[in-house]
Amino acid sequence: MFATSRRSLILSAAVAGAAFGLDKSLAIAAPTRSQQTPDPTRGFVRYKVGDAECTALYDGIWEKAHDPAYFSNATVAETKEALAAAGFTTAFVTIPITVFVIKLNGKLVMCDAGGGDQVQAFNPQSIFVSGRLMANMAAAGIDPKKIETILISHFHPDHIFGLLEKKTNSPVFPNAEIIVPAAEYKFWTDPSMTGRLPKGRRPLAHRIQTVIPIWKNVLPVAGEDEVVPGIRFVSAPGHTAGHTAFHISSGDEQLMISNDAAYVPALCAKHPGWHGAFDQDAALAETSRRKLLDRVVADKMMICGSHFPWPGLGKIAKDGAGYTITVSTT
Ligand SMILES: [Zn+2]
């Protein structure tokens, strides 16, 4: 089994090399790309939502090379135009990763876990940096051992690999209860599903199936329960089978942590009908995105997302056929 999978890895590397027309000398001569976007000078930002104390923690950034397949119904030129209109570089798509820690009703709750310095960019022209979470948590004065609950939005690597030690898969937060959407858990832990996934997603499914079901502190929750006092799951499927947003309510104030429902707002909120390659079911993702964003507008909530411009907290308004999300950078 091991020999087979090892051989297929070597084979697929060789095939990939052949497909790109690489030879050894070219591979050696290729320049090393490095992160263009500087890390924020302070990797944590704190704000209040009613009595909830929210801390945004910077985990890293994906500087994603342009790819005609990124959206099935928008061109690279349209993507660059939308980025420029929102004031971003057009050299690549800027996708920061932010993790949120919420202190509410005496509980310390972390929302997703970042990429744990273990997420690879699919494209060699892209840069993927993650795993700054723990250092920024320390800088913010948060003791990881005191985190009682971790809410997981979905099982993509940039949201769950921070739960796993790099080489051993040991739990980074062994004492926390990890609450996950039941539909997401069911999808990824079903061994019969692995073969139906695109090849690039199969190692992820394998890693999830090796680890998550044996952890005793993982609790799948179905529906839109109040998973901890003051925080509810909000079902927003499409990005993945069980993708879930988190709704925080305290006093008169509400915050919707939209996670990946509108991942890069300059693209996906402004153009909610664009169908992204990273949305597993793009039509369903669009329906969920519109429903979630309409609710945030109607109820005058604050919004933040895992990949919004750092530090993520923003205001949303309807803007023609789409939405504009304005993120405060302080
Ligand atoms: Zn993500």
**pLDDT for position 5:** 37
Report how far ligand 1's centroid is from the alpha carbon of 156 (Å): 6
Buried/exposed 291-305: b ≥16 CB within 10 Å, e otherwise:
ebbeebeeeebbbbb
Buried/exposed 251-282: b ≥16 CB within 10 Å, e otherwise:
eeebbbbbbbbbbbbbbbbbbbebbbeebbbb
Two tokens at 93? 């798509």
Instruction: Please tell me what DSSP assigns to residue 103.
Output: E
Report how far ligand 1's centroid is from the alpha carbon of 108 (Å): 22
CA distances from 298 to 180, 244, 246, 295 (A): 27, 19, 17, 5
Give strand ranges (E) for the chain. Answer: 44-49, 52-64, 93-104, 107-111, 127-129, 149-151, 177-181, 218-221, 226-228, 231-235, 244-250, 253-259, 302-305, 313-319, 322-327
**pLDDT for position 203:** 92
pTM for this model (two decimals): 0.89
**pLDDT for position 196:** 87
Report how far ligand 1's centroid is from the alpha carbon of 144 (Å): 22
Task: Report the alpha-carbon distance of residue 28 to residue 192 in Å, rounded.
Answer: 40
Two tokens at 149? 């609950």
**pLDDT for position 10:** 33
Report how far ligand 1's centroid is from the alpha carbon of 7 (Å): 30
CA distances from 156 to 114, 120, 185, 204, 329 (A): 10, 12, 12, 8, 26
Per-residue pLDDT tens digits of the chain, which is 330 residues long? 333 333 333 333 333 333 333 444 444 555 567 889 999 999 999 999 999 999 999 999 999 999 999 999 999 999 999 999 999 999 999 999 999 999 999 999 999 999 999 998 878 889 999 999 999 999 999 999 999 999 999 999 999 999 999 999 999 999 999 999 999 999 999 989 888 888 888 999 999 999 999 999 999 999 999 999 999 999 999 999 999 999 999 999 999 999 999 999 999 999 999 999 999 999 999 999 999 999 999 999 999 999 999 999 999 999 999 999 999 876
Instruction: Name residue 276's beta-bridge partners.
Output: 71
Report how far ligand 1's centroid is from the alpha carbon of 298 (Å): 25
Task: Report the alpha-carbon distance of residue 98 to residue 136 in Å, rounded.
Answer: 11
Q: Using an 8 Å Cβ cutoff, are 151 and 110 in contact?
A: yes
Q: Can the peptide bond before residue 38 be classed as cis, meaning omega within 30 degrees of 0?
A: no
Task: Report the alpha-carbon distance of residue 273 to residue 269 in Å, rounded.
Answer: 9
Report how far ligand 1's centroid is from the alpha carbon of 121 (Å): 12
Report how far ligand 1's centroid is from the alpha carbon of 94 (Å): 12
**pLDDT for position 120:** 86
Report how far ligand 1's centroid is from the alpha carbon of 314 (Å): 17
